[in-house]
Structures are given as structure tokens and as C-alpha cells.
Amino acid sequence: MTTVHEPTVPASAADLSVWPASATEPRPGDLAVGGVPLAEIADRFGTPVYVLDEAEVRSRCRTYREAFPNAEVLYAAKAFLCRALVHWMADEGLGLDVCSAGELQLAVTTGFPPERIVLHGNAKSPRDLDTALRLGVGRIVIDSPSEIARLAAAVGPDGHQKVMVRVVPGISAGGHAKIRTGTDDQQFGLSIADGYAQHAIARILDQPQLELTGLHCHLGSQITSVKPYLAAVRRMAGLLSRLHEQHGLVLPELDLGGGHGIAYRPGEEALDLTALARAVRTELAEACAAARLPVPRLIIEPGRAVVGPAGIALYRVLSVKRTGHHVFVAVDGGMGDNPRPALYGVRYAPRLIGRHSTAALAPVTVVGRHCEAGDILAADIELPADLHPGDLLAVPVAGAYHLSMASGYNLVGRPPVIAVRDGIARVLIRRESLEDIRNRDVGL
């Protein structure tokens, strides 16, 4: 572990508005997070390397707990999961939302209470369901009619399992077509419009070993407006009312999912969490009062908004090359550790660190080291014109959907994750080595 006691001054809010709150600039050109200089981390642990600000993660958990004091807050593990993060979520009073046996087992074997975990997913395997039942998961979100019979059979006539139903409210929201999940033309959930949700609920009620505790919906990701959530509340409340009329059913829980948008570059819009909490509470109370139903307990599932802004990716520049009218800056990572630009066209704001440059800014495109024309980390951004091999680039807002979606492309190996807090850096996940990759290959 490395302890740093250098005096620091607050960095410019305009320069570092999307960086962790602990970000400081000890001297021009340097940058520290959690009291640890990022250049020191790159030198000690190599690059590419991911840095996770523990205090920032914990602060964002507390912000959710304060904004939604009467709700159950579940961290969406798909954004990023490791054993340390499991402990942080337990400490801060959050539950977990998982979508595989792997995520579930990692959490439970780390000591997380299984009753505070919800399992969902549109295509749960027999192993997923068997693991959930064996470990005693709190709730399972049913996503298709076939899961009802499979789950009831797995539970057995004398067993018991709490379940929810994922409902498609027919609302389009999210930052990209590939991350919108609240509409009727995608693979998740059961539609209200065509009656599949209502039919599934009736079938669940015929299974005494399955206890239906509530409805679940998820609109998409990177949503920056409150309005879609209010529309979802109205449609879900309408379904609750119809279920009460048809079956005398009063469900105690309503899960509105996550998808809370964050800013990846200075000036971008983020979802106002306080406004969301206030508006959703009001809308839900009014809708339930009109239907003469008790207000169900709200459940929310933030992932990106908890861990995304707490992460930084550090890369070393390998080459600077002019081709036609473009300058390409190639770094030692790329789509192998961050596929999001290739998948969604995400844009980042990399920053030169480790030295102070007085050169004018010039347009460049930062590309990765992988053999794909789509391996572009940041297109048409401005960096100092004297950028050269050996320089360090830091990419903020790198905590979510980078390493959790990382691949083994070109057998490069996945980067390590380093936690920082109070001037101390420690390894959470070590770098994937060639030996790790070779040991999985047993085909000789």
C-alpha cells in the first residue's frame, strides 16, 4: 500500500466536474484521486489500470439511501462487481440485484445475506434458478411464462419462493436504442398491452409455492429525465388496480429498476436524483389513492450511477500518428477493457496526466490497441499538441460496464482494479496474466 501526504489544492470544478469529489491537482498537470496521484498508480501497477474511489462509491450509496429513505435500494451488480464492492454495499445498507449464478455466488460466498438479493434476467438457465433456490435468494423476477412452471417444479410442492413479475410498460427511454428495455419490441419482460403480463400473474397465483410480492419494470439506461419514470408509475399503478379488481390482489412491492443517467463529459446532463425521488413518491401516492390501494414499498436498482463516476481508466500512449486529416493517438488498452464506445458510440473526455503541457490543444482521436477499426475510445477530442508515446491519459467515469463487459480479445488480458482512499492504494483485482489465459486452455 502507498501512503501519500502531499498538500493538495482543490481542482477546478470546470475541469473536473465529472471526476470523483476527491479529485485534486497537487501541481499543474498532475491529478490525484482519493489522495493518491494517478501517475504514481500507473507507474506502480502498470497500464492499463482501473482506479476505483471507495469514498465516492460509498457517498453515492448514502445519497440514494437519503433520497429514498423508505425504499429498498439494490445495487445492480452487472455494472461492476468484485468482493470488495460486495462488502461496501453491505456496509452501506444496499441490497443486490444480480442476473446470473456467477454474480449471486460471488456475493453470497463473500458473506452477503442472500435474502437481500434479487435475481432477474430474461433467460435464466437451470443453473441460475437452482443456485438461487439453493442459496436462498430473496426474490426471483419472472421474465417469461416458461419460468413459472420451471420454477414451481424446482421449488417443489412443499417449498416456498418469493417472486416478482417483470412488466413491460411500453415506454421508450434511454440514451441509445440498444439500452432501451421498457418498450414492447425487445426481449425483456411481459407486456401489459398484449395481456401477457396479466396472464402470467394469474398463472403464478395458481402456484401456492410461489409468493407474488410485486411488479418489476426497467425502462432502460442513461435516462436523464424524470418524466419516463412518472409514466411508468402511472402504468404500473393502473395494473395494480386491475389486479386488485380481478383477483382481490394487493401487492406490497413495486420495483422501478434503475437506468439513472450520469454525465460522462463536462456539461452533459445527469438525472436529478432528488427531483426523481420527490416526483416518484408523489406520483405513486396519488395513483394509489385514486385506486384506493395502499402504497407499495418502492424498490430501485441503481448500478451505473453508484459506481460509474467513481472509476478512472489509465492508459499509456503507444503511438501518435497522422493519417490524412486525422491524428490518431493509440493507447495500450481499448475495446478489450471498454467495449462501450464500439457498442453504443459512447463519448469520453480523456485528460493528459503526469506532466504539465503548455502546448495548444489540437483535435485527435484516441484509439485502442485491438485489431478493429471500431476500437475507438474517444473520437475528435482536444488534447495537447505535444502528446507523445509514453504519456499518460486518464479517462473519468470508467467505473461501470467497462471491466464487467471486458473480453479476452487478442489475448491481451484484463487490467487490474486498484481502490484508493485516504492516500492509500490497494489491489482489488489483479491483472489477468498470460498464465491465467494459458491455464484455461486445456486442449493439448
- Which residues participate in catalysis according to the annotation? 371
Distance CA 341, CA 346 (A): 4
Terminal-to-terminal C-alpha distance of the chain:
40
Alpha-helical segments (H) within 325-368:
340-344
Neighbours of 368 (CB within 10 A): 28
Are the beta carbons of 63 and 310 closer than 8 angstroms? Answer: no
3-class secondary-structure state, position 426: strand
Distance CA 343, CA 219 (A): 19
Give Cα 203 to chain centroid, integer Å: 32
Neighbours of 294 (CB within 10 A): 12
**Residue 345 Rama label (left phi>0; alpha psi -120 to 50; beta):** left
Distance CA 347, CA 27 (A): 27
Q: Nearest 10 degrees: CA dihedral of 305, 310, 311, 314?
A: 140
Residue 393's Cβ-count burial label (10 Å; 0-12, 13-18, 19+) is buried
The contacts found for 110-115 with CB under 8 angstroms, 24 or more apart, are 110/83, 110/86, 111/86, 111/87, 112/86, 114/138
Helix axes 83-91, 101-109, angle to 10 degrees: 70
Q: Nearest 10 degrees: CA dihedral of 372, 378, 380, 382?
A: -140
3-class secondary-structure state, position 93: coil
Are the beta carbons of 396 and 31 closer than 8 angstroms? Answer: no
Neighbours of 9 (CB within 10 A): 9
- Strands, E assignment, 351-399: 351-353, 361-367, 376-384, 392-396
